[in-house]
Structure 1
């Protein structure tokens, strides 16, 4: 049960960063002062590292066991735009071991940690991100180009630097391998964008009350963690932010995400467990997750599983969430090569409004593209072929989705499995879905729709009572 997710407990001892020489003038680089406060708090058995009101400029910080980093109201922890302050470190990106710039905030194998308060943590992501011309107005685009950087050959994409452009043309340039020398990684350093917060193999974590915004890539990334509570936070990235996910929970267990708001450039609340062979080799599913009372504004998907789900996902409960203007509402995505089993997913009481594409989507042909084509972009339907079933064949099964209301969507329900591995045992019931298109189900079996009312245009498309689709 959600109430069984353990909460961290801290000593009352308080270590103000101002006592360690930090200055809130927006100019002094306070990395050493803030890290000193964290380190001493940790050495003395833990407590609260206090960030008072003010603008505190800093480089990357490492959180330690038994430390609660607490931001008072009107405190702004601003991470520097100076990329030289972020050394290259071994990390993980989209399920693969890769070199990355050190994250603004990170922790590895820490226990009993928290980031709390009413302040803001800003990752200065604009200096790192690629931007597509189609996602800006003409005036915004002209201002961005005038700021510096370089353009793609077709002049439709802006890169902050030549190194970023160079890396974008390579396949998996950050992967740690014998072919990739230190000089190679340095030449594309700008491409290896950090996530704002990365917690790896940590236990008993609390993120509460704080605004996390403007991340270079994913905003919050928890990897191989246990006992994670996320409560009453606001995650904010520009809608044009490439890979600007809200929270990615990867190969974690015992997780509670509640009462939080997301307005981001990619998927909002996302469940992952590694990618392809590396994810299967790790073999750690994300499991025992409760997601409730959250609000999502702009995002590619409101609640999402995949596409990196090669270690599996199971025993996940989503309830009482609202999605306003997301590209897709409930989004479950994978592709051949991933492998992994996603099962025992229970969703109840979801409200949606102005969903651009599908209100509910199951798709096993994920193509690593934005869910809604940009203006002028042409996409062909995938070629349907049957392949042999192997360990690299993904599976979606045993989903229950109930009590969904959607006021406006491109498509009500879309389910597309693989010929060799149908999506199986999906039950949807008690829904009212207003959309331009109704229900499409292919390569699926034991998909049961009970008491579903689909309204297309000004008239009901029909009521689906106890209807079961079989391949």
Structure 2
């Protein structure tokens, strides 16, 4: 029995000898909100990695730092009463290009965790980072790049100088229970996903720019991703695919999410720019799916979405902004309830000679503002083949109050209900170069005047009640 105990003790000691936990204050870090702790925190990370892995602990206090690089097999734990805060010096965030800059860097490593109930704050509202929309000398808040087996959980991400959480060309990332609030700067996206094998769940995003945004900036497909049980507020597009769409998107599902108004809007005043928008805070498109850089979009499902405070519920765009036209097909959107706050309806639109194909949209309720005029019903819609893809790219109004569908094939609208606060002289649905369209169980107010409920331009469709 004695020998068995000795063996167990030796085994236990052997199991733990390669791991190390370091409280950064033990190496001299100071949580006074003033001291630059960059070198000290990096030293703690390096020591953990050298010992085979462990946890770097940010304890109570406000710990100011520049870029820190996490290493393989290291966890960064930010205590509940701790703040890890970005220093307001541009040269403290190295990188030849903004795509390489970040406050917390996870770069070409494996088995890394960022966790804790504390706060990572990028100081993005400070003047040094105020460079306007597109300013490229700003760091992402958390930048995960070309890494494997990464977990980010239960952390509060605040006040990014640029995008908040950037995932670029990673494999196997799990995000759970995080809380993002980022309204201090332009381009404050919530989560930007350009990776494969990603799970995002149980999180809250409140962002000035896009909320959860799938991107394809390089040659790697953005694929095999699930997003579920999230609350998303955005002044732009709460759920977005694109604009970057070079390789494309495949095998992605988004489910059980709530879209709400952002808590504030410092930069966007849509009610001053877009006819028909009167609310002081709105998002652009609740669901935006865009392929404009020659990539593909295939096998995407979006379901169980409730949205308020958005201008346009659904926006699908296949365009030719910077590259030859790609493809957008095999999309299922179901169980959506939306309050729409503009005169821009849901849009499915490609460019001449190309088609969005094989889309089913079913079980949708849209509460709209109505009020469209005869002139708006007769409006000619520009193609704008190379325009930036957003709902207003064809104008601040469109000649339909429900769906505008152009250059599309094999589209099914099934059990769609529209309700309007004011009478509208525009048709519920406009079809233009749209073929094999199935309209089943459409419940919509008749437009004013002599307008048809469905306007047909060079299209073929079947109505099934």
TM-score range, shorter chain: 0.7 to 0.9
How much does 1:413 deviate? 1.8
Shift of 1:107: 2.0
Cα deviation per residue 1:61-89 (whole Å; 9 max; x = unaligned)? 00110111011101100110122322343
SS of residue matched to 1:443: strand
TM-superposed CA distance for 1:316, in Å, is 0.2
Counterpart check, 1:448 vs 2:423: no
How far did 1:462 drift?
7.2
SS of 2:125's equivalent? helix
| Larger RCO: 1 or 2 (CA < 8 Å, sep 6+) | 1
| Pair 1:48-2:55 in alignment | yes
Correspondence for 1:150: none
Describe the SS at the equivalent of 1:37.
helix
Partner of 1:83: 90
Q: Secondary structure at the match of 2:234?
A: coil
What residue number does 1:157 align with?
A: none
How far is 1:343 from its partner?
0.8
1:403 equivalent in structure 2: 335
Q: Distance in 1 between matches of 2:428 and 2:242?
A: 31
Task: Tell me which residue corresponds to 1:249.
Answer: 193
Q: Which residue of 1 aligns with 2:296?
A: 341
Q: CA deviation at 1:299?
A: 3.4
CA contact (8 A) 1:129 1:216 kept: no
Map of 2:7 onto structure 1: none
CA distance in 2, matches of 1:222, 1:253: 10
**Conserved in 1, the CA contact under 8 Å of 2:236 and 2:285?**
yes
> The residue matched to 1:33 in structure 2 has which SS?
helix
Alpha-carbon separation, structure 1, partners of 2:171 and 2:215: 14
- Number of the residue aligned with 1:427: 360
| Residue of structure 2 in register with 1:195 after alignment | 140
Report the CA distance shift for 1:212/1:334 in structure 2 as closer, same or farther (over 3 A).
Answer: same
Q: Contact 2:174/2:198 (CA < 8 Å) preserved in 1?
A: yes
Partner of 1:393: 325
> For 1:466 and 1:425, how far apart are their aligned partners in 2?
19
Distance 1:260 1:358, change over 3 A: same
Aligned to 1:386: none
2:226 aligns with 290
Pair 84,91 (structure 1): closer, same or farther in 2 beyond 3 Å = closer
Q: Deviations over 1:368-412 (max 9, x none)?
A: 9xxxxxxxxxxxxxxxxxxxxxx7212211100011111344245
Q: Which moved more, 1:297-306 or 1:444-453?
A: 297-306
Q: Counterpart in 2 of 1:361?
A: 315
RMSD over aligned Cα atoms: 2.7
**Distance apart, 1:211 and its partner CA:** 1.0
1:327 Cα deviation from its structure 2 partner: 2.6
Contact 1:253–1:289, Cα closer than 8 Å, also in 2: yes
1:316 aligned counterpart, secondary structure: strand
**Structure 1: which 5+ residue stretches go unaligned?**
1-9, 93-99, 131-159, 169-189, 369-390
Tell me, in whole angstroms, the C-alpha distance in 1 between the residues paired with 2:235 and 2:227. Answer: 16
**In the alignment, which residue of structure 2 is the partner of 1:114?**
113
1:232 paired to 2:207 = no
Separation in 2, partners of 1:228, 1:351:
26
C-alpha separation between the residues in 1 aligned to 2:241 and 2:317? 11
C-alpha contact (below 8 Å) 2:319/2:325 kept by paired residues: no
Shift of 1:191: 4.2
Do 2:63 and 2:84's aligned partners in 1 also have CA atoms closer than 8 Å?
A: yes
Q: Which residue of 2 is the match for residue 465 of structure 1?
A: 440
Distance in 1 separating the partners of 2:299 and 2:91: 45
1:242 deviates by 1.8
The equivalent residue for 1:323 is 259
Partners of 2:242 and 2:128 in 1: CA distance: 23
Match of 1:25 in 2: 32
CA offset digits 1:27-71 (Å, max 9, x no partner): 111111111111111111111111111111111100110111011
Give me the whole-angstrom Cα distance separating, in 2, the residues matched to 1:128 and 1:296.
27
1:323-344 Cα offsets, whole Å, 9 max, x none, are 0123321011233xx1010110
2:176 corresponds to 1:221: no
Q: Which residue of structure 2 aligns with residue 74 of structure 1?
A: 81
Deviations 1:69-121 (A, max 9, x none): 011101100110122322343563xxxxxxx5x31111221000011010111
Q: Secondary structure at the match of 1:196?
A: strand
Question: Given the two structures, how large is their TM-score scaled by the length of structure 1?
Answer: 0.72
Judged with a 3 Å threshold, the aligned counterparts in structure 2 of structure 1 residues 257 and 49 are, in CA distance, closer, same or farther, namely same
- Secondary structure of the 1:225 match is strand
Matched, 1:308 2:211: no
**Aligned with 1:418 (options 340, 351, 354):** 351
